[in-house]
Structure 1
């Protein structure tokens, strides 16, 4: 069975309510520089409570990758694929601690920066996601001007060829972040050099956040050894 998923090149399209893209939802407008520089424009902004589903966000041949999706509040991203990533594939920005950001299915490949950047407040739930040839995984912001206590739940994740020495999830212990990882599969030559979790002391605003621990600590980063699989 084949499933058609359109490649979407959208210039700052605002989704105010749920939308599933179809074959006609195609544009070819470049907007990224292909790097991991901060503050790049997103391809799609998703408003609070909206759902984006069934699309591939990619870079046309000869065009450079951009930031992907920005969620301004609670959102659901279902079966959204990122073919090429500039700064981040997905950024969570809402400031309400009751916000819930859901990623269900989909994946990201060829990311120069982070796959998921969590700048806002609330809980991120990521399930059945795939990452390949990426530099970093899922990060709670370490130096945002406004900092929050964030919770990150990652289940049924497959990671392939993540950069050696880097993390699947990063959290800030001094802001009371929590990460829970279940059924994580790490593949590729770098697999044994990838850290399921890194714990930092974050800062408010520009500054240097500091690494304090790598791995589970039972409080800020939680997983069992049998939840981490090296394939």
Structure 2
């Protein structure tokens, strides 16, 4: 029995309930199932994240507490979120801020009750990859490439594979076709899915002025929305 690992898990679990500031992760940190949280101020954009992942960091096996998920996790470069569960998403579950050529990997885990989106993508030229049985329930969107960030001007990429969703209230993915964003979707399961309910890949005309982006509707089999109807099934 690894006593030191058990004691570390107990310490992490105990500290979870009193955390009040952002925790920065470097290297690999395994929370061994501990529940962690800070606060939540609804959809306020000024909230701090619960975790910041430095370039190259991995966070594993953590539950982010309902009512205490703030702005979730911020990824600053290549990073990995493995078996992370958001019991109740506050603003966003995680935001990719890494630059060109970097990837935020989301392997497994789950997110519940995201009023808006689960994953926010800000970093230009970077990729968000969601795979390995990730589960989302009662969400607005699974993923959105920022539609009106002041830094907009080039492409972002998302790859979704082997993901299961239950109750999507807006669309699975939102991307900006005018900037060359690309969404590649395979092996997506949606509870009770029928054509257009929910929309799968919706394109927008993004901007860098802060204005509300214009929706261009759901697309299939395009250079921006690399997904066919056979890639999406009901369960």
TM over 0.5, yes or no? yes
C-alpha spacing 1:158/1:68, structure 2 compared with 1 (3 Å)? same
Any unmatched runs of 5+ in structure 1? Answer: none
Q: Which has the larger radius of gyration?
A: 2
2:106 aligned residue: 103
Conserved 8 A contact 1:160-1:191: no
Partner of 1:48: 55
- Residue of structure 1 in register with 2:232 after alignment: 228
TM-score with structure 1 setting the length:
0.87
2:25–2:57 contact (8 Å) kept in structure 1: yes
Question: SS of 2:123's equivalent?
Answer: coil
| Counterpart check, 1:135 vs 2:135 | no
Q: Distance in 2 between matches of 1:204 and 1:150?
A: 14
> For the residues of structure 1 that align with 2:35 and 2:214, how far apart are their CA atoms?
42
Other structure's SS at 2:178 match: helix
Q: Partners in 2 of 1:217 and 1:146 — Cα distance? A: 28
Counterparts of 1:64 and 1:192, CA distance in 2: 33
Contact 2:182 2:223 in 1 (8 A): yes
Aligned CA RMSD, in angstroms, stands at 2.3
User: Is residue 85 of structure 1 aligned with residue 95 of structure 2?
Assistant: no
In the TM superposition, what is the alpha-carbon distance from 1:145 to its structure 2 partner?
0.9
Q: Please give the alpha-carbon distance, in whole angstroms, between the structure 2 residues aligned to 1:155 and 1:197.
A: 14
Q: Give the alignment's TM-score, normalised by structure 2.
A: 0.85
Deviation at 1:74, TM superposition (A): 1.2
CA distance in 2, matches of 1:65, 1:181: 27
Q: 2:156 aligns with which of 143, 150, 153?
A: 150
Q: After the TM superposition, which segments of 4 or more aligned residues of structure 1 sit over 6 Å from their partners?
A: 4-7
Distance across 2 between alignment mates of 1:37 and 1:217: 35
Which has a greater percent of helix? 2
Deviations 1:94-135 (A, max 9, x none): 1x2111110111010011221000011211111021100112
Structure 2 gap ranges (5+):
1-5
Q: Does 1:21 align with 2:31?
A: yes
